Amino acid sequence: MLRRRRHEIPAGTPRSAVVTGAARGIGAAIATELIGRGYRVLVTDLDEAAAQATADRIGAAAGAAYDVTDPAAAHAIAARAREIAPLGAWVANAGVGFDGAVTEVSEEHAMALVEINLLGPLWGARAAVAAFREQAATGVVRGGEIGVTASLSALGPVPGLSMYAASKAGALSMVSGLASEVRREGIRVHAINPDGVNTDLLRGMKPGGQGQALVRSGTLVTAEQAASGLVDMFGTARVYRTLPAWRGAILRLTGLAPGPVLRMEPAMRAVGARKARSLR
């Protein structure tokens, strides 16, 4: 049985979509999902050649280079998408995942986590909202969708990934606030909080490190599951979804009572280490 799609572009009314960090991994899966639902997708990535290669492979409208830390570049990408079709969706997926304790993360990595994981979605959302408002004012089309790839770690403390978790928590907070600020304009804002996804980001963490072990203690989510989970919220008032839901409940409990719950951390890390060894 085919999965019922909750949000598709009606025939005859094409809309464009921007996906950042879409040359590979979750971003490429999101771009593919949006194409399947009728969007004309602009695949963007810091690596222009990789973005274009992915665009050609999945049948996207175009590929382009885009540095998400540049506020002006966000508006330029929105304008580029509107040359394809009226902007219908902006997905801020680009992210980095440097692990390590707070006292170990380098200044360079700490700055990148904030500039890419937090400010990147913020600059993108501002550009998307500006485009949606201009389209509405000129009678082109009203409203649109903004999506953000956040993380399960946004919901509570994750030792060994504290800086990463803080950047994702900030992005999730921005999503929640923005969703309320623009909802009367027909603009809907959503975030997906996946558990560990077997991408380059997870594989790039320190082997056997605390962060990687805790991530692997849960259930690895596929890039396609994260993509459909996010896009399924388009057209709805739902602000965020966590995959899997049970891990979200644990992280929220940890956030409410970090002292008692974090006493379980060594056991969870051991589970993750065993899972990592079994995958070698």
Tell me the residue ranges of DSSP E strands in the chain: 15-19, 39-45, 62-65, 87-92, 144-149, 187-194, 240-243
Q: How high is the pLDDT of residue 156? A: 83
Distance CA 215, CA 268 (A): 9
Distance CA 27, CA 214 (A): 23
Q: How high is the pLDDT of residue 203? A: 56
240 catalytically annotated? no
Choice among 39, 66, 164, 240 that is catalytic: 164
Q: How high is the pLDDT of residue 256? A: 61
Q: Over the stretch 155-214, which tens digit does the pLDDT of each residue have?
A: 988 888 899 999 999 999 999 999 999 999 999 999 999 987 765 655 555 655 554 444
User: Which residues 6+ apart lie within 8 Å of 201 measured at CB?
Assistant: 25, 95, 96, 97
pTM for this structure? 0.84
Q: How high is the pLDDT of residue 213? A: 46
Amino acid (one-letter) located at 79: A
Q: How high is the pLDDT of residue 8? A: 80
CATH superfamily of domain region 15-205+218-255: NAD(P)-binding Rossmann-like Domain (3.40.50.720)
Q: How high is the pLDDT of residue 5? A: 52
Q: How high is the pLDDT of residue 160? A: 86
Spell out, as residue ranges, where the chain has pLDDT lower than 50. Answer: 1-4, 211-214, 216-217, 265, 267-280
Amino acid (one-letter) located at 1: M
Residue whose structure tokens are 């019922």 = 4
User: Which residues 6+ apart lie within 8 Å of 279 measured at CB?
Assistant: none
Distance CA 98, CA 103 (A): 13
Q: How high is the pLDDT of residue 139? A: 94
Distance CA 222, CA 248 (A): 17
